[in-house]
Amino acid sequence: MGLFEELDSKVVLVTGGNQGIGESVVDTFLNENSIVICADLAIHESKLEKKSDQLYKIHLDVSDEDSVKNLTAQLIANNLIPNVAINVAGISTMNYLIESKTSDFDKTIAVNTRGTYLITKYIVKEMVKLNRPGKVVLIASQAGKNGYRAMSAYVASKHAVLGLTKTLAIEVAHNQINVNAVCPGIVETPMKHRERNDGAVIRGLTSDDIEKEDNSQVPLGRTAKPQDVANVVLFLSSHLSDYMTGQGVNVTGGMTMN
């Protein structure tokens, strides 16, 4: 039995739901007995495919407007416009700014910033059309509040996500749609493990050196598990956050405190 009775049978969209934070978010809402749409680049089916009574899957490239339009059309056709929309999909590229490739910068902005824009534009529009109160949760990052070496594109993209969060929150507040962002710190995901390897090469260190450095920066003494982030996503999707909107909530073990 889930923690929040109001999420039972509610429709929850999760982009980037196939691994990492997104996978934990999908599992968390399945435990709430929600109807979950997992949309991810790694899924091949372009039509909504029912995997169980609670779970649907569909291919989605958040950076591609036609792909987002297809997702929206599939949700409309199946009467599955979400009560809760969660955009987790994101990527990172690494290099010092003056050494970085413009194509890497463009790719990161396309997924993290343009992708967030497109998902909120098309999905929230349908929520408004149906006069459906609900919750929108965007995954930003502590990199949306700070700067980090060799991550200029990612940092820029996540600052932009917080800007979109604040703006959309104002625009749909009268529709009783709450829009908030989660700002994770260092989370043990496949993306983070790849970043450690890339960062080690760039900085002339080992990935073990980077991992030790990561842990040393967290006051609570450990990096996050994906479930730590999913728990806060669940809170922001529940009635407990009804008087919160436009916020960037840190989940960093104390590493970022503002």
Residue whose structure tokens are 């509040």: 145
pLDDT, tens only, 45-55: 999 999 999 99
Catalytic residue flag (residue 154): yes
3-state secondary structure the chain: CCCCHHHCCCEEEEECCCCHHHHHHHHHHHHCCCEEEEEECCCCCCCCEECCCCEEEEECCCCCHHHHHHHHHHHHHCCCCCCEEEECCCCCCCECHHHCCHHHHHHHHHHHHHHHHHHHHHHHHHHHHCCCCEEEEEECCHHHCCCCCCEHHHHHHHHHHHHHHHHHHHHHHHHCEEEEEEEECCECCHHHHHHHHHHHHHHCCCHHHHHHHHHHCCCCCCCECHHHHHHHHHHHHCHHHCCCCCCEEEECCCCCCC
Residue 100, in any domain of the structure = yes
Residue 203, in any domain of the structure = no
Residue 210, in any domain of the structure = no
Which CATH number belongs to the domain containing residue 30 in this structure? 3.40.50.720
Residue 199, in any domain of the structure = no
Kindly indicate the confidence band of residue 171, based on its pLDDT and cuts at 50, 70 and 90.
Answer: very high
Kindly indicate the confidence band of residue 15, based on its pLDDT and cuts at 50, 70 and 90.
Answer: very high
Q: What is the mean pLDDT of the chain?
A: 97
In percent, the amount of the chain with pLDDT more than 70 equals 100
pLDDT of 249: 98
- Who's near 146: CB < 8 A, 6+ residues apart? 155, 256
pLDDT of 36: 98
Residue 69, in any domain of the structure = yes
Structure token digits, residue 137:
């949760």
Number of domains in the chain: 1
Does the pLDDT value for residue 1 go beyond 80? no
Residue 79, in any domain of the structure = yes
pLDDT of 168: 98
Contact 252, 184 (CB under 8 A): yes
Q: Strand 11-15 vs strand 84-87: parallel, antiparallel, or unpaired?
A: parallel
pTM of this structure: 0.97
Residue 204, in any domain of the structure = no
pLDDT of 84: 98
Choosing from 56, 96, 154, 243, the catalytic residue is 154
Residue 73, in any domain of the structure = yes
The range of the structural domain enclosing residue 9 comes to 5-187+225-250
pLDDT, tens only, 177-203: 999 999 999 999 999 999 999 999 999
